[in-house]
Amino acid sequence: MKLSELLSRGRPTVSCELFPPKVGTTLDQVEGVLRDTAALRPDFISVTYGAGGSTSKRTQEIAVRLQDTYHVPALAHLTCVSSTREEISSMVAALRAAGIENILALRGDIPRDADFPSPEHYHYASELIGHIRSLEGGKELCIGAACYPEGHVECPHREDDIDFLKRKVDMGVDFLTTQMFFDNDVLYRFLYRVLAKGITVPVIAGIMPVMSVKQIRRSCELSGTVMPPRLQGIADRFGDDPAAMRQAGIAYATEQIVDLVAHGVEHIHIYTMNKPDVAARIMANLSDIIRPRG
């Protein structure tokens, strides 16, 4: 099913995220994660794409398994910064042939040790989106893209970031998914700015349940996401106690989602990071607010 149809049905949705196993491991090693995540009956499951395309085949394999074996719509991530146009053309053709209708089109992080992007490579996700749309069958695909409520870390001015986002959407984007954020007011201000710019595609709010303080501080540092004082306080108090931090992280994510839905933000993506047990706890907390897929 195309996510554009799902997102236009006028009811709240919840989705989860998986990442492929490391190169050299078998798909069987994550089968339990796939099965348990699918059993939560999310509206769709997205599958990330390893930096530099290291696990690109795995992304497709997992997306197909989710759809064919577990009957959950899949969203395959695809990054372009380390690929040529020819490589992208054949990857998109393979995804289509395998029955994948939904692609999250991303630039990817520029590798530190490489002099990307060279003239043959893509510079921005907008070029990837234009390229996919120009391919055979590209117009029938549902294409999503990333957006950044606190601005993308490489862009010095937030206003420019929104202008670039508008250009990206105009290339043929059906929906956007946000980077993680921990202060809902940041998202509400962003949504006003997005609308003011004439961007009207659905925006899915990306929620990251904080399980490890060390990991989240590092991710925030890299992405420029701010940890508000309330979350800082929780991290300071429970960071050294994994069980307590897990419980507090689940509670924080749940509260964020309740507030978002109360404010009319109806599409929630949980960055479940291959932890179906965490997603299960959050979804159980919300079972009368966002009902599982029928």
DSSP strand pairing (44-47 vs 203-207): unpaired
End-to-end CA distance of the chain: 14
CA dist list (Å): 241 to 211, 214, 220, 233, 249: 10, 12, 20, 14, 12
Give me the least distance between CB of 86 and ligand FAD, in Å please. 20
Sole binder of ligand FAD in the list 37, 60, 102, 126 (CB under 6 A)? 126
Give the CB-side neighbour count of residue 174, counting CA atoms within 13 A. Answer: 22
Determine, following the binding rule CB under 6 A, whether residue 164 of this chain makes contact with ligand FAD.
Answer: yes
Give me the least distance between CB of 1 and ligand FAD, in Å please. 20
DSSP strand pairing (175-178 vs 142-147): parallel
Residues designated as active site: 17
Query: Closest by alpha carbon to 279, among 287, 270, 288?
Result: 270
Q: For the stretch 176-186, what's the b/e string if a residue is b when 16 or more beta carbons lie within 10 angstroms of its beta carbon?
A: bbbbbbbbbeb
Determine, following the binding rule CB under 6 A, whether residue 109 of this chain makes contact with ligand FAD.
Answer: yes
Binding mask 62-81 for ligand FAD (x = CB under 6 A): ---------------x-x--
Q: For the stretch 53-70, what's the b/e string if a residue is b when 16 or more beta carbons lie within 10 angstroms of its beta carbon?
A: bebbebbbebbbbbbeee
Sole binder of ligand FAD in the list 206, 209, 249, 276 (CB under 6 A)? 206
**Nearest CB to ligand FAD, comparing residues 48 and 83:** 48
Spatial separation of the C-alpha atoms in residues 188 and 86, rounded to whole Å: 39
Determine, following the binding rule CB under 6 A, whether residue 276 of this chain makes contact with ligand FAD.
Answer: no
Determine, following the binding rule CB under 6 A, whether residue 222 of this chain makes contact with ligand FAD.
Answer: no
Determine, following the binding rule CB under 6 A, whether residue 48 of this chain makes contact with ligand FAD.
Answer: yes
Determine, following the binding rule CB under 6 A, whether residue 272 of this chain makes contact with ligand FAD.
Answer: no
Sole binder of ligand FAD in the list 38, 88, 125, 257 (CB under 6 A)? 125
Query: Closest by alpha carbon to 268, among 187, 210, 192, 196?
Result: 187
Q: What is the DSSP letter of 98?
A: T
Sole binder of ligand FAD in the list 124, 251, 273, 289 (CB under 6 A)? 124
Determine, following the binding rule CB under 6 A, whether residue 161 of this chain makes contact with ligand FAD.
Answer: yes
Q: How many residues bind ligand FAD (CB under 6 A)?
A: 23
Stretch that binds ligand FAD, among 66-74, 135-143, 149-157, 190-198 (CB under 6 A): 149-157
Point out which residues bind ligand FAD (CB under 6 A). Answer: 48-49, 51, 77, 79, 104, 106-109, 124-126, 146, 152, 154-155, 161, 164, 168, 177, 179, 206
